[in-house]
Amino acid sequence: MNFKFTTAGESHGKALAAIVEGLPAGLAIDLEKINHELWRRQQGYGRGGRMKIETDKVEFLSGIRHGKTLGSPVTMIIENRDFVHWTEIMSSEKLETQPKNPPIVSRPRPGHADLAGGQKFGARDLRDILERASARETAARVACGALARQLLENFGIEIKSHVIKLGNIPEIALQKTWEEICAIEENAPLNCADQEIENLMIAHIDAAKENGDTLGGIFEVVAKNPPVGLGSHTSWAEKLDGRIAQAFMSIQAVKAVEIGEGVLNAGRFGSEVHDEIYFDENNFRRRTNRAGGLEGGITNGEELRVRGYLKPISTLRKALHSVDIETKQEDLAAFERSDITAVPAAGVIGEAMLAIVLANSLREKFGGDSLDEMKRNFESYRDSIAKY
């Protein structure tokens, strides 16, 4: 069975929920590791007041018994602690009178789902749209990704991320090795591998905050030790780079995805781009990894490197011009509270999405109902690759 997941929940509703299907039976699950990923997603200089309210933690409702998966769907819940302040406005009960505080949202934010979503779904209170469009939803995805990651660990695959650009700093995005990324301290303010650059990024965020503005940036996710042969060249939907791009583009505010040095490669000669092949200790290797570990939509055994480009957050304290959907008069867009930037958090979400895509590919390729069966299939494939 493939690795599948779905999330549910509104930003200020009672809770977020997720259902994950396709984990093999017998996989040991460490709840603390999942909660640690949720903690990491909440970090980062430039987050707003909401992160002081939430302490995201998972509660299992199904699929795990005595610390191991049963092979059945895993259901997870993450409480929204902020819900206590929104019980009436987010109530599932029919209300006799519309609550006054906060009022109906009628001034859509440029860059947000507010207006297009409102038009599409016929919503007169744009809260009906923004609550689900909110990146709060990604807490549930990170929980799903943390399960996927625990499967990947059994196959020797590790995933990390780092921030390589914040706004326009540095001018050329950072290029860092796996070891340099591993050396970043857990509580580094921006999950950046260069402290001097990180200080400049912090000053840039401070300036944006001062101006009531927001910032985007670029994060990079690296998967160490993926086996050769995940994904396939045979059909468009099987190409792993295509699947990764879709997974990354689905992260709120991600507007471009790059595999390896894809953007720079477009302006280089072929001789400057393609990673030459050599044979070493019974292994085919590449001298460089400008392809980011993917050729023909198939993993080639090198590190997988994927970058997500984020637009600046669309809720601005110094609000942009918009139009009130009721009066049709020009007005400033709505503002309640916002992050200045969330690029480090997006990196953690990118890790989760890459873990999910890879877990799905492993499940497709190695099948099995139990982890033991899946591992046997994996070992047998690894033996055949070693003889190639």
Task: Kindly state the smallest distance separating residue 219's Cβ from ligand EPS, in Å.
Answer: 15
Task: Kindly state the smallest distance separating residue 45's Cβ from ligand EPS, in Å.
Answer: 14
Contact flag: residue 328 with ligand EPS (CB under 6 A) = no
- What is the number of helices (H) and of strands (E) in the chain? 12, 16
Pick 83 or 381: Cβ nearer ligand EPS: 83
Task: Kindly state the smallest distance separating residue 254's Cβ from ligand EPS, in Å.
Answer: 13
Contact flag: residue 136 with ligand EPS (CB under 6 A) = yes
Contact flag: residue 134 with ligand EPS (CB under 6 A) = yes
Contact flag: residue 339 with ligand EPS (CB under 6 A) = yes
Amino acid (1-letter code) at residue 135 = A
- Per CB under 6 A, the segment of 17-25, 46-54, 66-74, 218-226 that binds ligand EPS is 46-54
Q: How many positions of this chain bind ligand EPS (CB under 6 A)?
A: 13
Looking up tokens 């985007």 gives: 216
| Residue 316 to residue 337: CA distance in whole angstroms | 9
- Per CB under 6 A, the segment of 47-55, 157-165, 168-176, 230-238 that binds ligand EPS is 47-55
Contact flag: residue 322 with ligand EPS (CB under 6 A) = no
> Quick check: helix, strand or coil at residue 75?
strand
- Per CB under 6 A, the segment of 133-141, 155-163, 240-248, 267-275 that binds ligand EPS is 133-141
**Nearest by Cα to 260 from 226, 225, 220, 296:** 220
Q: How many CB atoms neighbour CB 181 within 10 A? A: 20
Return the bridge partners of 6, or none: 19
Task: Kindly state the smallest distance separating residue 137's Cβ from ligand EPS, in Å.
Answer: 8
**Nearest by Cα to 35 from 20, 55, 7:** 55
Task: Kindly state the smallest distance separating residue 331's Cβ from ligand EPS, in Å.
Answer: 19
Task: Kindly state the smallest distance separating residue 135's Cβ from ligand EPS, in Å.
Answer: 4
> Quick check: helix, strand or coil at residue 248?
helix
Contact flag: residue 139 with ligand EPS (CB under 6 A) = yes
DSSP string, 362-387: HHHHH--SBHHHHHHHHHHHHHHHHT
Task: Kindly state the smallest distance separating residue 103's Cβ from ligand EPS, in Å.
Answer: 15
Task: Kindly state the smallest distance separating residue 10's Cβ from ligand EPS, in Å.
Answer: 11
| Torsion of Cα atoms, 190 then 194 then 196 then 197, to 10° | -60
Looking up tokens 């595999």 gives: 259
Contact flag: residue 58 with ligand EPS (CB under 6 A) = no
Q: What x/- string results for residues 264 through 303 when contact with ligand EPS is judged by CB under 6 A? A: ----------------------------------------
Pick 116 or 277: Cβ nearer ligand EPS: 116
Pick 57 or 68: Cβ nearer ligand EPS: 57
Q: Applying CB under 6 A, which of residues 135, 298, 333, 348 lies at the interface with ligand EPS?
A: 135
Q: Applying CB under 6 A, which of residues 7, 11, 106, 150 lies at the interface with ligand EPS?
A: 11
Q: Applying CB under 6 A, which of residues 15, 43, 48, 194 lies at the interface with ligand EPS?
A: 48
Contact flag: residue 337 with ligand EPS (CB under 6 A) = yes
For residues 284 and 301, the answer to whether their CB atoms sit within 8 Å is yes
CA angle 323/329/332 to nearest 5° reads 45
Pick 37 or 339: Cβ nearer ligand EPS: 339
Contact flag: residue 214 with ligand EPS (CB under 6 A) = no
DSSP string, 3-49: -EEEEE--TTSSEEEEEEE-PPBT-B--HHHHHHHHHHHH--TT--T
Task: Kindly state the smallest distance separating residue 250's Cβ from ligand EPS, in Å.
Answer: 14
- Element containing residue 342 per DSSP (H, E): none
Start-end of H helices in the chain: 31-42, 50-53, 114-121, 127-133, 138-153, 178-182, 195-210, 240-249, 262-265, 270-273, 343-366, 371-386
Contact flag: residue 315 with ligand EPS (CB under 6 A) = yes
Amino acid (1-letter code) at residue 368 = G
Query: Binding residues for ligand EPS, per CB under 6 A?
Result: 11, 48, 50, 54, 134-136, 139, 315, 336-339
